[in-house]
Amino acid sequence: MNSKTIKAWRNVLFALFLIGAALISALASAVFSAMGANELSMATAILALLLALLIAVTVVPRLAHRAKLELLFLPIQIQITNSGWFFLAVTTIVGFAAVNAGNNLLYLIFSILIAVIFASSIISRLSLRDISIKLRIPDHIFVGEPTIVSVTAVNHKRFIPSFSLLVEAESTRRTRRAAESGRARRWFRWLSEKNEQLNKIAYFTLLPGNSQVRQYSRQVFDKRGKYHISGFRISTRFPTGFFKRSRHVDASGELVVYPRPRPVDDFFHLLPMLAGRFESRFRGGTSADLYGIRQYIPSDHMRNINWKATAKSSQLMVREFTREDEWKVNLVFDTSLPQSPTEDFDAKFERAITFVASLASHFIREGSEVRLITPSDILPYAAGQGQLYRILGTLAVLEPEDFSSRAKRQNSTVSWWLYDELPALHDDRHFKIIVTSAPKGSIPASLWRSAHVIYLEDL
């Protein structure tokens, strides 16, 4: 215990001594007055007043200097529960009855009910004071998958515990949405949507003084995107349950919810020729990765003959390798808003996001180097799980964008504008899968030699 704490306790004890002495002097004055000893009564009354003045001048300023006035001015939101409304109705009825009847028992009951309200306010404020929240979230979160969130509540009060604390996260999800009518449908404005995913993340029955308690909560996110956590709301109904009091705790952080990749088989109807085209591009290479064994043809080199397989089959068999330079895939996602978006455009756009995420996951698992190309960003070629998370992070925040004004300045459609503006689309060496909202027939014919085009209207 440091010197400041010892001094504070000394001030408290001194204040209690003076208050006790003043109270005894006041009682003695009343007794002497009843006995008729007016001089003693006046002397003890004056002594009581002097002691009260001494307390006001010497002790109160010291205590007020160290008092945590935020207990009185703590911003608290109050919500009356159903049982609380019933309690207030009963209190009102008892109060009117006491005034009309003049019955001391009713006054006593009314006083007790009022005291319960004030005591409940003080106790709940003490429970909510000096509480901080720590939230730990996994690095990678996917739409629709259960996520375990770690919530730690810290009670900074030295001795006073907190009871029945409900912790809720306050977060917003920033999205862009078009206006609903006229030409304004092609123009976007930022909106903050209240997120209902991270409400009621933990409940702490008891939080002892000067301690911390950790709980784990299971959360499921229904929408992809970037969520900004602006703070936490801590609430309690302790001790009576008649009132729910809550306060805001500031916090700052962001989390990104990835689109959830699905098996590519789910999109087989969109890729009827994809498997064969990739097979033809991965064959006949000179890398160290064996693709398979097939029958010898005159154009094959003799060093690739597999003599063991030849002996078994009684005919020449050769080893076939993959093309090392062809393990590269371009995923091109055209996020342009159509001239006349249909009512189900948002749903199709979300399916396109899932489709591109599924393709990226599939090719990266196969060991390919994948590059993601969008009108606003290009992720360079890379392989591995880190590249997959980079692609998913980019897809998580993509929204439809209006490029019509820029396309008109070039006197072309949006897709033609993309072809003109993105040199990466001119590379015929590597295969490209293009997902676009452009109308059919608008993609340049030169792209079809090295690309497979999927239209949003087919999703």
Residue 373 lies in a domain: yes
Same domain for 33 and 135, yes or no, is: no
Identify the helix (H) or strand (E) that includes residue 187: none
Nearest to 141 by CA among 227, 229, 250, 199: 227
Same domain, 39 and 147: no
Q: Name the nearest CA neighbour of 153 among 195, 198, 210, 196.
A: 210
Q: Are residues 238 and 334 in the same domain?
A: no
Dist CA 228 CA 230 (whole Å): 6
Domain membership flag for residue 307: no
Confidence band of 185 (pLDDT split at 50, 70, 90)? very low
Supply φ then ψ for residue 42, to 5 degrees.
-70, -40
Distance CA 128, CA 111 (A): 26
Token pair, residue 243, equals: 């009132």
In the predicted model, is pLDDT for residue 33 greater than 50? yes
| 233 and 334 part of one domain | no
Average pLDDT over residues 138-162: 91
Predicted confidence (pLDDT) at residue 434 exceeds the cutoff of 50: yes
Tell me, yes or no, whether 338 and 450 share the same domain: yes
Alpha-carbon distances of 74 from 165, 207, 233, rounded to whole Å: 16, 20, 14
Amino acid symbol at 126? L
* Structural domain total, the chain: 3
Contact status, residue 226 vs residue 396, Cβ threshold 8 Å = yes
Whether residue 54 is contained in a domain is answered as yes
Residue 374 near residue 390, CB atoms below 8 Å: no
User: What residue type is 8 in one-letter code?
Assistant: A
Question: For the residues 326-348, what does the mean pLDDT come to?
Answer: 80
Where does residue 62 rank: exposed (0-12), middle (13-18), buried (19+ CB within 10 A)?
middle
Instruction: Indicate if the pLDDT at residue 263 is higher than 70.
Output: yes
- Do 62 and 135 fall into the same domain? no
Cα 293 from Cα 397, distance rounded (Å): 44
Query: pTM for the full model?
Result: 0.65
Six-digit token pair at 372? 């993601």
264 pLDDT higher than 50: yes
Backbone phi, psi, residue 108, to 5°: -65, -45
Q: What is the mean pLDDT of the chain?
A: 77
Last residue of a domain, one of 14, 45, 67: 67
Token representation of residue 283: 């064959």
pLDDT higher than threshold 60 for residue 186: no
The first and second tokens of residue 127, run together, are 């429970």
Q: How far from 84 is each of 15, 240, 241, CA to CA, in Å?
A: 37, 9, 7
Q: Are 353 and 405 in contact (CB under 8 A)?
A: no
SS3 for 129? Answer: coil
Note whether 138 and 19 are same-domain residues. no
Give the mean model confidence (pLDDT) for residues 36-51. 80
**Domain-embedded: residue 206:** yes
Q: Is residue 56 part of a domain?
A: yes
pLDDT at 345 over 60: yes
Q: Which two tokens stand for residue 112?
A: 């007790």
* 177 domain residue, yes or no: yes
pLDDT band at 152 (very low <50, low <70, confident <90, very high): very high
Question: What is the pLDDT confidence band of residue 153, given thresholds at 50, 70 and 90?
Answer: very high
Is 334 found in the same domain as 441?
yes
Q: Which of 67, 98, 113 is the last residue of a domain?
A: 67
52 pLDDT band, cuts 50/70/90, is confident
In three-state secondary structure terms, 398 is: coil
Residue 208: partners with Cβ closer than 8 Å, 6 or more residues away: 155, 161
Q: Which of 63, 64, 85, 72 is nearest to 8 (CA)?
A: 63
305: phi then psi, degrees, rounded to nearest 5: -70, 130
User: CA-CA distance, 143 to 364, in Å (whole number)?
Assistant: 20
- Do 232 and 132 form a contact (C-beta atoms < 8 A)? no
Find the domain containing 63 and state its range: 1-67
Strands (E) located in 162-321: 162-178, 188-194, 202-207, 211-220, 225-236, 243-258, 285-295, 317-321
Residues ≥6 apart with Cβ < 8 Å to 151? 133, 134, 135, 136, 167, 201, 202, 214, 215, 216, 217
Are 336 and 437 contacting, i.e. CB atoms less than 8 angstroms apart? Answer: yes
pLDDT at 155: 93
Task: Tell me how far apart the alpha carbons of residues 219 and 416 are, in angstroms, rounded to a whole number.
Answer: 43
Nearest to 420 by CA among 433, 406, 434: 406
Does the structure show a pLDDT above 50 at 188?
no
pLDDT reading at 423 higher than 80: no
Q: Are 125 and 76 in contact (CB under 8 A)?
A: yes
Q: Look up residue 40 and give its two tokens.
A: 């003693």
From 178-192, 269-283, 330-344, 435-449, the region with the lowest mean pLDDT: 178-192
Strands 431-436 and 451-455, by their bridges, are parallel
CA distance 394 to 389: 9
Chosen domain end from 238, 258, 278: 258
Residue 264 lies in a domain: no
Alpha helices in 369-433 (DSSP H): 385-396, 404-409, 414-421
User: Which is more confident, 265 or 130?
Assistant: 130
At residue 389 the predicted structure's pLDDT band, cuts being 50, 70 and 90, is very high
Token pair 């085209």 is at which residue?
277
Check residue 357 and give its pLDDT.
93
What phi, psi does 214 have (nearest 5°)?
-115, 140
Does position 392 have pLDDT exceeding 90, yes or no? yes
In-domain check, residue 311: no
Most confident among 67-71, 285-289, 375-379 (mean pLDDT): 375-379
Top pLDDT among 105 and 8 is at: 105
Angle separating helix axes 82-101 and 104-128, nearest 10 degrees: 150
Q: Are residues 155 and 48 in the same domain?
A: no
Q: Whole-angstrom Cα distance, residue 330 to residue 212?
A: 49
